[in-house]
Amino acid sequence: MSRIAYVNGRYLPAREANVNVEDRGYQFADGVYEVCEVRSGKLVDAPRHLARLQRSLRELRITQPMPLTALEVVLHETVRRNRVDYGLVYLQITRGVARRDHAFPQAAVRPSVVVTAKNLSYDKNQETAKKGIAVITTPENRWPRVDIKSVSLLPNVLAKQAARERGANEAWFVDTDGFVTEGSSSNAWIVTADGRVVTRMVDNHILSGITRAVLLEVIEALQLRLEERPFTVAEAQAAAEAFVTSASQLVMPVVKIDERTVGDGKPGSVSQRLREEFHRFAHLS
């Protein structure tokens, strides 16, 4: 847990890091967030995360509480105060505190801003990547605006928990046409037998992942073939490789999908190479 959290202008010890019970984030899931990787105490791809945050705010018409440059200062300061070398920084902005009413507050309300940061074990992450993870699949049951990175995450919570209970690390949502949309907290990818890297195109049914976007640049630089299109569970299970991307997992090989082994059951060479190359392309600030 974050030892020091930024809450509406103040840096507070975790136990005092509180928001009001009538914060609309608490009563209505009326807020957005970003999770940014921290490496050597620096932010990975902060400008892209902040640009996406700005888009999420705009889509929900939540007032941007401060300039992005000021937000980046708060991210850095929270990382510094928590002495995070490798880990994550979390930023949440909600519509603010108001008397409970579904519609937006009619008087101007100041949005709530919360930032936390925590250390993670990079070695543990690397060890997991060496073995690869298992994923399960589950019917897509989220609303059709998951392109907005909102805290309305209850379906994601239940999917991730189902994965854990079946010995897997991630759950892939599958739409009514049988196509994988994305994971509960990651984007989904496969590599075909002839080396094409496939991931779903960006629309309202997936979040436009920052790690995903950077990886597209890596793929281009390595002159790999890319296809942005949906794929089915069966295609993924029969693929040469599969992996997921997210700020916390980076490029994480998938070796099992719903009890079916992918490839030879070990992380594939393309996935491993993309994982290794990723940080040459990521932006540190």
- Contacting a copy of itself within 169-198 (CB under 8 A): 184-185
Amino acid identity at 5: A
Residue 25 binds to a copy of itself (criterion: CB under 8 A): yes
Determine the distance from the C-alpha atom of residue 42 to the mean position of all C-alpha atoms in its chain, rounded to a whole number: 18
Instruction: Tell me how far, at minimum, the Cβ of 14 lies from a copy of itself, in Å.
Output: 8
Would you say 68 or 158 has its CB closer to a copy of itself? 158
DSSP strand pairing (196-199 vs 225-228): parallel
Residue 124 binds to a copy of itself (criterion: CB under 8 A): no
C-beta separation of 53 from 62 below 8 A: no
Residue 167 tokens, joined: 């010995």
Residue 136 binds to a copy of itself (criterion: CB under 8 A): no
Residue 2 binds to a copy of itself (criterion: CB under 8 A): yes
x-or-dash pattern for a copy of itself, window 141-160, by CB under 8 A? xxxxx----xxxxxxxxx-x
The terminus-to-terminus CA distance of the chain in angstroms comes to: 23
Q: Which stretch binds a copy of itself (CB under 8 A): 11-19, 79-87, 227-235, 254-262?
A: 11-19
x-or-dash pattern for a copy of itself, window 37-76, by CB under 8 A? -----------------------x----------------
Exposed e or buried b for every residue in 109-144, given b needs 16+ CB within 10 A? bebbbbbbbebeeeeeeeeebeebbbbbbbebebee
Catalytic-role residue among 118, 124, 149, 256: 149
130 carries an active-site annotation: no
Would you say 173 or 231 has its CB closer to a copy of itself? 173
C-beta separation of 56 from 37 below 8 A: no
Q: Which stretch binds a copy of itself (CB under 8 A): 112-120, 127-135, 232-240, 251-259?
A: 112-120
How many residues at the interface with a copy of itself, by CB under 8 A?
A: 53
Q: Which stretch binds a copy of itself (CB under 8 A): 39-47, 98-106, 209-217, 221-229?
A: 98-106
Instruction: Give the 3-state secondary structure of residue 74.
Output: helix
C-beta separation of 21 from 13 below 8 A: no
Residue 19 binds to a copy of itself (criterion: CB under 8 A): yes
Amino acid identity at 223: Q
Residue 274 tokens, joined: 């993309």
Among 10, 102, 124, 280, which residue sits at the site for a copy of itself (rule: CB under 8 A)? 102
C-beta separation of 210 from 218 below 8 A: no
Determine the distance from the C-alpha atom of residue 107 to the mean position of all C-alpha atoms in its chain, rounded to a whole number: 33
Instruction: Tell me how far, at minimum, the Cβ of 170 lies from a copy of itself, in Å.
Output: 9
Would you say 171 or 197 has its CB closer to a copy of itself? 171
Phi, psi of 81 (to 5 degrees): -65, -25
The conformation of residue 179, written as its DSSP 8-state character, comes to: B
Among 82, 92, 211, 245, which residue sits at the site for a copy of itself (rule: CB under 8 A)? 92
C-beta separation of 12 from 5 below 8 A: yes
Binding site for a copy of itself (CB under 8 A): 1-2, 5, 7, 14-15, 17-30, 33, 60, 90, 92, 94, 99-100, 102-104, 114, 116, 118, 141-145, 150-158, 160-161, 163-164, 184-185
Give the residue numbers annotated as catalytic, written as ranges. Answer: 149
